[in-house]
Amino acid sequence: MISSLFGKTRPVNYILVLSVVFIFFSLAQLHQGEAFTLSSHFLWILAGLCSLLLSLFLVNFIVQRNQLTAADSYAMLFYAQFCILFQEFLTDPIVLMAAFFLLLAQRRLISMKSLKNLKEKIFDAALYIFVASLFVNWTLLFILIVWIYIYFYTPKKINYWLIPIAAAVTVALTSWSVFFLSGDPQYLFNHFAFSLEPIKIAEVPTFSAVKTAGFLILISMAGIVAFIKQGKSGQGRLTQLRLLVIAWIAGIAIAFLTGERFISAVGFAFLASAVFAARYVESIRKDFIKDIVMYGFTAVSILVFFLEWVVK
C-alpha cells in the first residue's frame, strides 16, 4: 500500500509527510526539554522547523525536476524517514538551516546538466554554500563540489572557475557588514577559525554509533545497486549519479569534521541518500516486496526514534 501511495506525486503525499515530520519534530523538542515559549531560542527552533519543512518540498522538486528517480515520491519519503531516524538532526536548528541552504545549492548544481544559464547557476550554488557555512563552518568544503561540477560540464571556460570567488566576496562583505552593525565585527574571524578535531568514535554514544554505521552501510549498498541498474543508461545519467556520490561522500566527510555535531551533520548527506534509497526501491519489481522494504524501514526509523529516549 505504501509503495502505491508514494508511487506517484500527489498533494496528499506532501500532507502526510509534512504532518508526520512536524509531529516527530515536536516530540524531539519536547524530549529535549525545550519549552515552546517566545524566546530567542524558540525563534531558532521555529527557523529550524521552517527550514526542515521547506527542505522536504525542495527534495521532491530537485528529484522530479532533474529526473533523478522515476515519477514518484519515494525520495521525499526516505528523506523524512532519515530525519526521524536521526533525532539529533531534528533538534539542531543550526544544522537544519545549513542543510536547507546546501539543498538550494545542490538544486542549482544538479540543474547544470541542461547547460543553460551556467554562470547564474554556478554563482547561486556557491552563494548558498557560503551562506550555509555561516551556520556550520565546515560546510565551506562543499565549494569543492561546485568546481567539480564545472569540471564535468564546462571545464574549458576559465572565467567560470572564478565565479565562486565572486560569490565568496559577496557573502563575506555582506555578512561582515551585518555583524559589524550588530556590534560583533569579529564573528567571521572567530567562526572560521577552523580546528581540525575530527570526531572521536569512542566519544560517540554506542547507540548513535551503531545507528550511523547501519545507515552508512545500507545507503552504500543502495548506491551500489543504483549504479548497477544505471549501467545500461546514457552517460548523462551516470554523470548525475557520480556527482551525487561525490556530494554524499562530502556530506559524510563534513559530518566527521564537525566534532560534537557529528550525528546531526549526517543530514548533509540526506539528499543523495534519499535518491539512492528511492532508486533501490524502484529496482524491486514485486510490489509486495517494495511494501515490506518501505514498511520495514519506516518501522525501524520510528523504533530507533523512541529507543533513543530509553538508552539516553
The percent of residues in the chain predicted with pLDDT above 90, rounded, is 59
Does the pTM surpass 0.85? The reply is yes
Is residue 41 pLDDT above 90, yes or no? no
- pLDDT for 310 equals 79
- pLDDT for 8 equals 79
Half-sphere exposure of residue 76: CA atoms within 13 angstroms, side-chain side? 34
Is residue 287 pLDDT above 60, yes or no? yes
Question: Could you write out the three-class secondary structure of 175-233?
Answer: HHHHHHHCCCCCHHHHHCCCCCCCCCHHHCCHHHHHHHHHHHHHHHHHHHHHHHHHCCC
- pLDDT for 196 equals 61
- pLDDT for 231 equals 62
Is residue 234 pLDDT above 80, yes or no? no
- Please compute the mean of the pLDDT values over residues 65-86 and round it to a whole number: 92
Half-sphere exposure of residue 88: CA atoms within 13 angstroms, side-chain side? 19
139 burial (CB, 10 Å; 0-12 / 13-18 / 19+) is buried
Sequence ranges of the domains in the chain: 2-311
The answer to whether the Cα torsion of 153, 155, 160, 165 is positive or negative is: positive
Distance of alpha carbon 90 from alpha carbon 267, whole angstroms: 9
The full length of the chain comes to 312
25 vs 200, residue with greater confidence? 25
- pLDDT for 19 equals 95
Residues 206, 263 contacting (CB under 8 angstroms): no
Distances (CA, A) of 284 to 155, 166, 271, 278, 279: 37, 45, 21, 10, 9
Instruction: Find the angle CA(120)-CA(124)-CA(129) to the nearest 5 degrees.
Output: 155
- pLDDT for 110 equals 94
- pLDDT for 312 equals 62
273 vs 115, residue with greater confidence? 273
Is residue 292 pLDDT above 80, yes or no? yes
Lowest average pLDDT, out of 7-16, 191-200, 223-232, goes to 191-200
Residues 199, 256 contacting (CB under 8 angstroms): yes
> At 115, phi and psi to the nearest 5?
60, 25
Write the pLDDT tens digit of every residue in 247-257.
999 999 999 88
Distance of alpha carbon 34 from alpha carbon 28, whole angstroms: 9
- pLDDT for 37 equals 53
Q: For residue 237, what pLDDT band results from cuts at 50, 70 and 90?
A: confident
The percent of residues in the chain predicted with pLDDT above 70, rounded, is 92
Residues in Cβ contact with 306 at an 8 Å cutoff, skipping those fewer than 6 apart = none
- Please compute the mean of the pLDDT values over residues 161-188 and round it to a whole number: 91
Nearest alpha-carbon partner for 28 in 191, 199, 264, 240: 264
Mean pLDDT (the chain) is: 88
Nearest alpha-carbon partner for 9 in 55, 68, 54, 75: 75
